[in-house]
Structure 1
Protein backbone atom coordinates (compact mmCIF):
# COMPACT_ATOMS: atom_id res chain seq x y z
CA UNK A 1 0.00 0.00 0.00
CA UNK A 2 1.23 3.47 -0.88
CA UNK A 3 2.02 5.24 2.41
CA UNK A 4 1.91 8.60 0.65
CA UNK A 5 -1.70 8.02 -0.44
CA UNK A 6 -2.62 6.61 2.94
CA UNK A 7 -1.40 9.82 4.57
CA UNK A 8 -3.44 11.92 2.12
CA UNK A 9 -6.56 9.83 2.76
CA UNK A 10 -6.15 10.23 6.51
CA UNK A 11 -5.78 13.99 6.12
CA UNK A 12 -9.00 14.07 4.09
CA UNK A 13 -10.78 12.07 6.80
CA UNK A 14 -9.52 14.57 9.38
CA UNK A 15 -10.90 17.55 7.46
CA UNK A 16 -7.82 18.60 5.52
CA UNK A 17 -7.39 19.73 1.92
CA UNK A 18 -5.00 17.83 -0.34
CA UNK A 19 -3.75 18.10 -3.91
CA UNK A 20 -3.47 14.97 -6.05
CA UNK A 21 -2.88 14.06 -9.70
CA UNK A 22 -5.79 13.38 -12.04
CA UNK A 23 -5.86 12.51 -15.72
CA UNK A 24 -5.01 16.00 -16.96
CA UNK A 25 -4.22 18.34 -14.06
CA UNK A 26 -3.68 18.26 -10.33
CA UNK A 27 -6.87 18.37 -8.33
CA UNK A 28 -7.77 19.67 -4.92
CA UNK A 29 -9.75 17.33 -2.73
CA UNK A 30 -11.40 17.10 0.63
CA UNK A 31 -14.24 15.37 2.45
CA UNK A 32 -17.43 16.55 0.72
CA UNK A 33 -19.44 15.99 3.90
CA UNK A 34 -17.20 18.19 6.03
CA UNK A 35 -18.53 21.72 5.52
CA UNK A 36 -15.43 23.35 7.01
CA UNK A 37 -13.13 21.40 4.69
CA UNK A 38 -15.17 22.33 1.61
CA UNK A 39 -15.29 25.99 2.64
CA UNK A 40 -11.51 25.94 3.16
CA UNK A 41 -11.01 24.44 -0.31
CA UNK A 42 -13.29 27.08 -1.85
CA UNK A 43 -11.41 29.84 -0.02
CA UNK A 44 -8.08 28.51 -1.32
CA UNK A 45 -9.42 28.60 -4.89
CA UNK A 46 -11.31 31.89 -4.48
CA UNK A 47 -14.33 30.04 -5.87
CA UNK A 48 -17.92 30.77 -4.89
CA UNK A 49 -19.92 27.93 -3.34
CA UNK A 50 -22.73 28.64 -5.83
CA UNK A 51 -20.72 27.13 -8.71
CA UNK A 52 -20.69 23.63 -7.22
CA UNK A 53 -17.89 21.08 -7.25
CA UNK A 54 -17.07 17.71 -8.80
CA UNK A 55 -17.37 14.57 -6.73
CA UNK A 56 -15.12 11.65 -7.65
CA UNK A 57 -15.25 8.08 -6.44
CA UNK A 58 -13.38 4.83 -6.83
CA UNK A 59 -16.45 3.32 -8.50
CA UNK A 60 -20.06 4.04 -9.33
CA UNK A 61 -21.01 2.03 -6.25
CA UNK A 62 -19.19 4.56 -4.07
CA UNK A 63 -20.98 7.49 -5.73
CA UNK A 64 -24.45 5.95 -6.15
CA UNK A 65 -25.84 6.69 -2.65
CA UNK A 66 -25.56 10.40 -3.42
CA UNK A 67 -27.25 10.24 -6.84
CA UNK A 68 -30.69 9.64 -8.30
CA UNK A 69 -30.07 7.09 -11.07
CA UNK A 70 -32.36 4.72 -12.92
CA UNK A 71 -31.11 1.33 -14.13
CA UNK A 72 -30.39 2.59 -17.64
CA UNK A 73 -28.33 5.51 -16.34
CA UNK A 74 -26.40 3.25 -13.97
CA UNK A 75 -25.63 0.86 -16.81
CA UNK A 76 -24.48 3.74 -19.00
CA UNK A 77 -22.11 5.03 -16.32
CA UNK A 78 -20.76 1.54 -15.60
CA UNK A 79 -19.88 1.20 -19.31
CA UNK A 80 -18.19 4.60 -19.55
CA UNK A 81 -16.16 4.71 -16.34
CA UNK A 82 -13.39 4.89 -15.32
CA UNK A 83 -12.69 7.67 -17.79
CA UNK A 84 -11.97 11.40 -17.94
CA UNK A 85 -15.70 12.00 -18.40
CA UNK A 86 -17.69 13.95 -15.83
CA UNK A 87 -21.45 13.58 -15.80
CA UNK A 88 -24.06 15.91 -14.37
CA UNK A 89 -26.50 13.73 -12.45
CA UNK A 90 -29.48 14.46 -10.22
CA UNK A 91 -28.20 14.63 -6.65
CA UNK A 92 -29.90 12.83 -3.79
CA UNK A 93 -30.81 14.59 -0.57
CA UNK A 94 -27.83 12.87 1.07
CA UNK A 95 -25.44 15.19 -0.78
CA UNK A 96 -24.81 18.50 0.99
CA UNK A 97 -25.89 21.67 -0.79
CA UNK A 98 -22.36 23.08 -0.56
CA UNK A 99 -21.20 20.38 -3.00
CA UNK A 100 -23.96 21.05 -5.57
CA UNK A 101 -23.89 24.82 -5.26
CA UNK A 102 -27.04 26.34 -6.70
CA UNK A 103 -27.73 23.30 -8.89
CA UNK A 104 -30.02 20.30 -8.46
CA UNK A 105 -27.45 18.18 -10.26
CA UNK A 106 -23.96 17.26 -9.19
CA UNK A 107 -20.91 16.67 -11.36
CA UNK A 108 -19.51 13.17 -10.77
CA UNK A 109 -16.68 11.07 -12.18
CA UNK A 110 -14.82 7.84 -11.66
CA UNK A 111 -11.38 9.00 -12.79
CA UNK A 112 -9.14 7.07 -15.11
CA UNK A 113 -6.16 7.87 -12.90
CA UNK A 114 -5.20 5.09 -10.50
CA UNK A 115 -3.94 7.41 -7.75
CA UNK A 116 -7.17 9.42 -7.71
CA UNK A 117 -9.27 6.24 -7.51
CA UNK A 118 -7.03 4.77 -4.81
CA UNK A 119 -7.31 7.97 -2.81
CA UNK A 120 -11.11 7.61 -2.81
CA UNK A 121 -10.79 3.96 -1.86
CA UNK A 122 -8.45 4.71 1.04
CA UNK A 123 -10.59 7.64 2.20
CA UNK A 124 -13.53 5.23 2.20
CA UNK A 125 -15.80 7.68 0.41
CA UNK A 126 -16.07 9.99 -2.59
CA UNK A 127 -13.98 13.14 -2.44
CA UNK A 128 -14.19 16.61 -3.93
CA UNK A 129 -12.25 17.18 -7.13
CA UNK A 130 -11.54 20.60 -8.55
CA UNK A 131 -8.52 21.88 -10.41
CA UNK A 132 -5.56 22.88 -8.25
CA UNK A 133 -5.40 26.58 -8.97
CA UNK A 134 -6.83 29.89 -7.96
CA UNK A 135 -9.96 30.44 -10.05
CA UNK A 136 -9.09 32.05 -13.35
CA UNK A 137 -5.44 30.97 -13.30
CA UNK A 138 -3.98 28.01 -15.18
CA UNK A 139 -4.40 24.67 -13.43
CA UNK A 140 -1.29 23.04 -11.99
CA UNK A 141 -0.02 20.03 -13.93
CA UNK A 142 2.62 18.87 -11.45
CA UNK A 143 3.33 19.00 -7.72
CA UNK A 144 5.82 21.85 -8.12
CA UNK A 145 3.25 24.09 -9.78
CA UNK A 146 0.80 23.21 -7.00
CA UNK A 147 3.37 24.07 -4.34
CA UNK A 148 4.26 27.35 -6.04
CA UNK A 149 0.65 28.48 -6.42
CA UNK A 150 -1.06 27.00 -3.34
CA UNK A 151 1.55 25.18 -1.27
CA UNK A 152 1.30 26.73 2.17
CA UNK A 153 -2.51 26.63 2.07
CA UNK A 154 -2.69 22.86 1.57
CA UNK A 155 -2.35 20.09 4.10
CA UNK A 156 -0.72 17.61 1.71
CA UNK A 157 0.40 17.21 -1.91
CA UNK A 158 0.37 13.69 -3.37
CA UNK A 159 3.25 12.93 -5.73
CA UNK A 160 2.28 11.60 -9.13
CA UNK A 161 2.10 12.34 -12.82
CA UNK A 162 -0.68 13.80 -14.91
CA UNK A 163 -0.98 13.07 -18.62
CA UNK A 164 0.65 16.15 -20.15
CA UNK A 165 -1.31 15.82 -23.39
CA UNK A 166 -4.69 15.39 -21.73
CA UNK A 167 -7.29 18.12 -21.57
CA UNK A 168 -9.76 18.62 -18.70
CA UNK A 169 -12.52 16.05 -18.45
CA UNK A 170 -15.46 16.19 -20.80
CA UNK A 171 -18.66 17.21 -19.02
CA UNK A 172 -21.95 15.66 -20.14
CA UNK A 173 -25.46 16.05 -18.77
CA UNK A 174 -26.48 12.42 -18.21
CA UNK A 175 -30.20 13.07 -18.62
CA UNK A 176 -30.08 15.05 -21.87
CA UNK A 177 -26.79 13.79 -23.30
CA UNK A 178 -25.78 17.41 -23.93
CA UNK A 179 -22.01 17.99 -23.93
CA UNK A 180 -21.25 21.01 -21.77
CA UNK A 181 -17.46 20.86 -22.10
CA UNK A 182 -15.93 18.82 -24.93
Structure 2
Protein backbone atom coordinates (compact mmCIF):
# COMPACT_ATOMS: atom_id res chain seq x y z
CA UNK A 1 0.00 0.00 0.00
CA UNK A 2 1.81 3.12 -1.20
CA UNK A 3 2.00 6.45 0.58
CA UNK A 4 0.37 8.08 -2.46
CA UNK A 5 -2.63 5.71 -2.30
CA UNK A 6 -3.06 6.34 1.41
CA UNK A 7 -2.90 10.13 0.94
CA UNK A 8 -5.47 10.00 -1.91
CA UNK A 9 -7.83 7.83 0.13
CA UNK A 10 -7.44 10.05 3.23
CA UNK A 11 -8.38 13.07 1.08
CA UNK A 12 -11.42 11.32 -0.44
CA UNK A 13 -12.66 9.95 2.91
CA UNK A 14 -12.17 13.33 4.60
CA UNK A 15 -14.29 15.09 1.96
CA UNK A 16 -17.16 12.65 2.60
CA UNK A 17 -16.86 12.78 6.40
CA UNK A 18 -16.71 16.58 6.64
CA UNK A 19 -20.04 16.67 4.76
CA UNK A 20 -21.69 14.29 7.24
CA UNK A 21 -21.15 11.10 5.24
CA UNK A 22 -20.23 7.60 6.38
CA UNK A 23 -17.35 5.51 5.04
CA UNK A 24 -16.27 1.88 4.86
CA UNK A 25 -12.57 1.65 5.70
CA UNK A 26 -9.73 -0.61 6.88
CA UNK A 27 -8.80 -0.28 10.56
CA UNK A 28 -6.03 -1.81 12.66
CA UNK A 29 -8.38 -4.79 13.14
CA UNK A 30 -11.36 -5.52 10.82
CA UNK A 31 -13.05 -3.38 8.14
CA UNK A 32 -15.16 -0.72 9.79
CA UNK A 33 -17.99 1.70 9.10
CA UNK A 34 -17.12 5.18 10.32
CA UNK A 35 -17.96 8.84 10.53
CA UNK A 36 -17.07 11.96 12.51
CA UNK A 37 -17.64 10.94 16.15
CA UNK A 38 -18.93 14.45 16.93
CA UNK A 39 -21.68 14.37 14.27
CA UNK A 40 -24.89 12.87 15.74
CA UNK A 41 -26.66 12.77 12.35
CA UNK A 42 -23.82 10.80 10.76
CA UNK A 43 -23.82 8.42 13.76
CA UNK A 44 -27.58 7.89 13.20
CA UNK A 45 -26.88 6.87 9.59
CA UNK A 46 -24.54 4.13 10.83
CA UNK A 47 -27.11 2.80 13.32
CA UNK A 48 -29.70 2.71 10.50
CA UNK A 49 -27.33 0.97 8.06
CA UNK A 50 -26.37 -1.66 10.63
CA UNK A 51 -30.03 -2.02 11.71
CA UNK A 52 -28.73 -1.62 15.23
CA UNK A 53 -30.42 -0.21 18.32
CA UNK A 54 -29.04 3.18 19.28
CA UNK A 55 -28.65 1.89 22.84
CA UNK A 56 -25.71 -0.25 21.66
CA UNK A 57 -22.75 2.09 21.55
CA UNK A 58 -19.87 1.87 19.06
CA UNK A 59 -16.09 2.18 19.30
CA UNK A 60 -14.37 5.49 18.66
CA UNK A 61 -10.83 5.61 17.28
CA UNK A 62 -8.35 8.30 18.30
CA UNK A 63 -4.78 8.96 17.23
CA UNK A 64 -3.19 10.89 20.10
CA UNK A 65 -3.07 11.44 23.85
CA UNK A 66 -4.32 14.98 23.20
CA UNK A 67 -7.43 13.68 21.42
CA UNK A 68 -8.04 11.27 24.33
CA UNK A 69 -7.82 14.11 26.86
CA UNK A 70 -10.22 16.20 24.78
CA UNK A 71 -12.87 13.49 25.27
CA UNK A 72 -11.99 12.20 28.75
CA UNK A 73 -11.04 14.64 31.52
CA UNK A 74 -9.95 11.72 33.72
CA UNK A 75 -8.05 8.75 32.33
CA UNK A 76 -6.84 6.19 34.87
CA UNK A 77 -3.06 5.55 34.80
CA UNK A 78 -3.76 1.87 34.22
CA UNK A 79 -5.35 2.81 30.86
CA UNK A 80 -2.01 4.16 29.60
CA UNK A 81 -0.23 1.06 30.92
CA UNK A 82 -2.66 -1.24 29.09
CA UNK A 83 -2.22 0.73 25.86
CA UNK A 84 1.58 0.64 26.19
CA UNK A 85 1.88 -3.02 27.17
CA UNK A 86 -0.71 -4.44 24.77
CA UNK A 87 0.74 -6.40 21.87
CA UNK A 88 -2.54 -6.31 19.92
CA UNK A 89 -5.22 -3.67 19.31
CA UNK A 90 -7.00 -2.98 22.60
CA UNK A 91 -10.22 -1.04 23.07
CA UNK A 92 -10.83 0.55 26.47
CA UNK A 93 -14.23 1.52 27.81
CA UNK A 94 -13.80 4.68 29.87
CA UNK A 95 -16.14 6.77 32.04
CA UNK A 96 -17.63 10.23 31.47
CA UNK A 97 -16.84 11.14 27.86
CA UNK A 98 -17.55 14.60 26.45
CA UNK A 99 -17.07 16.45 23.14
CA UNK A 100 -18.56 13.57 21.09
CA UNK A 101 -22.05 12.95 19.71
CA UNK A 102 -24.47 12.08 22.53
CA UNK A 103 -25.86 9.09 20.61
CA UNK A 104 -22.47 7.35 20.64
CA UNK A 105 -22.20 7.38 24.45
CA UNK A 106 -23.46 4.23 26.22
CA UNK A 107 -26.36 4.38 28.69
CA UNK A 108 -23.91 4.05 31.62
CA UNK A 109 -22.06 7.20 30.40
CA UNK A 110 -19.06 5.32 29.01
CA UNK A 111 -17.36 5.29 25.63
CA UNK A 112 -15.27 2.56 23.97
CA UNK A 113 -12.06 4.02 22.57
CA UNK A 114 -8.94 2.73 20.84
CA UNK A 115 -5.71 4.57 20.06
CA UNK A 116 -4.53 3.61 16.56
CA UNK A 117 -1.27 3.95 14.69
CA UNK A 118 -2.49 2.24 11.48
CA UNK A 119 -1.45 4.70 8.71
CA UNK A 120 -4.82 5.32 7.01
CA UNK A 121 -6.83 5.84 10.21
CA UNK A 122 -4.08 7.87 11.85
CA UNK A 123 -3.73 10.25 8.89
CA UNK A 124 -7.50 10.58 8.44
CA UNK A 125 -7.95 11.67 12.07
CA UNK A 126 -4.97 14.00 11.74
CA UNK A 127 -6.84 15.66 8.87
CA UNK A 128 -10.24 15.61 10.67
CA UNK A 129 -8.81 16.76 14.01
CA UNK A 130 -11.64 14.69 15.52
CA UNK A 131 -12.21 11.10 16.64
CA UNK A 132 -13.54 8.56 14.15
CA UNK A 133 -16.42 6.13 14.76
CA UNK A 134 -15.48 2.51 14.13
CA UNK A 135 -17.99 -0.32 14.08
CA UNK A 136 -17.71 -3.65 12.29
CA UNK A 137 -18.89 -3.72 8.66
CA UNK A 138 -21.91 -5.96 9.17
CA UNK A 139 -25.63 -5.82 9.84
CA UNK A 140 -26.22 -6.15 13.58
CA UNK A 141 -26.35 -9.80 14.65
CA UNK A 142 -24.50 -11.08 11.57
CA UNK A 143 -20.89 -12.34 11.72
CA UNK A 144 -18.10 -9.75 11.53
CA UNK A 145 -16.44 -9.96 8.09
CA UNK A 146 -12.80 -11.07 8.37
CA UNK A 147 -11.87 -9.62 4.97
CA UNK A 148 -13.14 -7.10 2.44
CA UNK A 149 -14.54 -9.92 0.26
CA UNK A 150 -16.89 -10.99 3.08
CA UNK A 151 -18.61 -7.60 3.43
CA UNK A 152 -22.33 -7.77 2.61
CA UNK A 153 -23.62 -5.88 -0.46
CA UNK A 154 -26.14 -4.04 1.80
CA UNK A 155 -23.22 -2.46 3.68
CA UNK A 156 -21.19 -1.70 0.52
CA UNK A 157 -24.20 0.01 -1.07
CA UNK A 158 -25.22 1.82 2.11
CA UNK A 159 -22.08 3.83 2.81
CA UNK A 160 -21.21 7.10 1.10
CA UNK A 161 -17.64 6.04 0.28
CA UNK A 162 -15.64 2.80 0.22
CA UNK A 163 -11.95 3.39 0.90
CA UNK A 164 -9.95 1.79 -1.90
CA UNK A 165 -7.24 0.12 0.19
CA UNK A 166 -8.17 -3.54 -0.15
CA UNK A 167 -4.84 -5.13 0.76
CA UNK A 168 -5.97 -8.31 2.44
CA UNK A 169 -4.62 -8.84 5.91
CA UNK A 170 -4.43 -12.29 7.44
CA UNK A 171 -7.83 -13.13 8.95
CA UNK A 172 -8.35 -9.94 10.88
CA UNK A 173 -9.78 -10.14 14.38
CA UNK A 174 -11.73 -7.62 16.45
CA UNK A 175 -9.83 -5.87 19.24
CA UNK A 176 -9.64 -6.90 22.87
CA UNK A 177 -12.15 -4.85 24.89
CA UNK A 178 -11.47 -3.89 28.52
CA UNK A 179 -13.80 -1.78 30.68
CA UNK A 180 -11.94 0.54 33.05
CA UNK A 181 -13.94 2.50 35.59
CA UNK A 182 -12.67 5.68 37.23
CA UNK A 183 -13.09 3.61 40.41
CA UNK A 184 -10.26 1.43 38.95
CA UNK A 185 -12.46 -1.64 38.43
CA UNK A 186 -11.21 -3.63 35.44
CA UNK A 187 -13.43 -5.99 33.44
CA UNK A 188 -12.43 -7.87 30.26
CA UNK A 189 -15.42 -7.71 27.89
CA UNK A 190 -13.81 -9.42 24.86
CA UNK A 191 -10.40 -11.15 25.26
TM-score, normalized by the shorter chain, greater than 0.5: yes
Q: Does 1:148 align with 2:153?
A: yes
RMSD (CA atoms)? 2.3
**1: distance between equivalents of 2:29 and 2:75?**
30
- Structure 1: runs of 5+ lacking an equivalent: none
* 1:86-126 alpha-carbon deviations (Å, 9 max, x no partner): 00111334333201131211000012522222222222210
Q: Does 1:87 align with 2:92?
A: yes
* 1:121-177 alpha-carbon deviations (Å, 9 max, x no partner): 222210100001101112234444436241221111112335323321000112322
Q: Does 1:181 align with 2:190?
A: yes
Question: Number of residues paired by the alignment?
Answer: 182
**1: distance between equivalents of 2:21 and 2:40?**
11
| 8 A contact 2:33–2:135 mirrored in 1 | yes
Q: Does 1:13 align with 2:27?
A: no
State the TM-score, normalizing by the size of structure 2: 0.83
Q: Secondary structure at the match of 1:15?
A: coil
Match of 2:31 in 1: 26
* 1:56-79 alpha-carbon deviations (Å, 9 max, x no partner): 011222122111324624643662
- Structure 2: runs of 5+ lacking an equivalent: none
Structure 1 residues 47 and 162: alpha-carbon distance in aligned structure 2, compared to 1, 3 A threshold: farther
Q: Secondary structure at the match of 2:151?
A: helix
Match of 1:104 in 2: 109
Matched ranges for 1:30-179 at <5 A = 30-70=35-75, 72-73=77-78, 75-76=80-81, 79-80=84-85, 83-146=88-151, 148-160=153-165, 161=167, 163-175=169-181, 176-179=185-188
State the TM-score, normalizing by the size of structure 1: 0.87
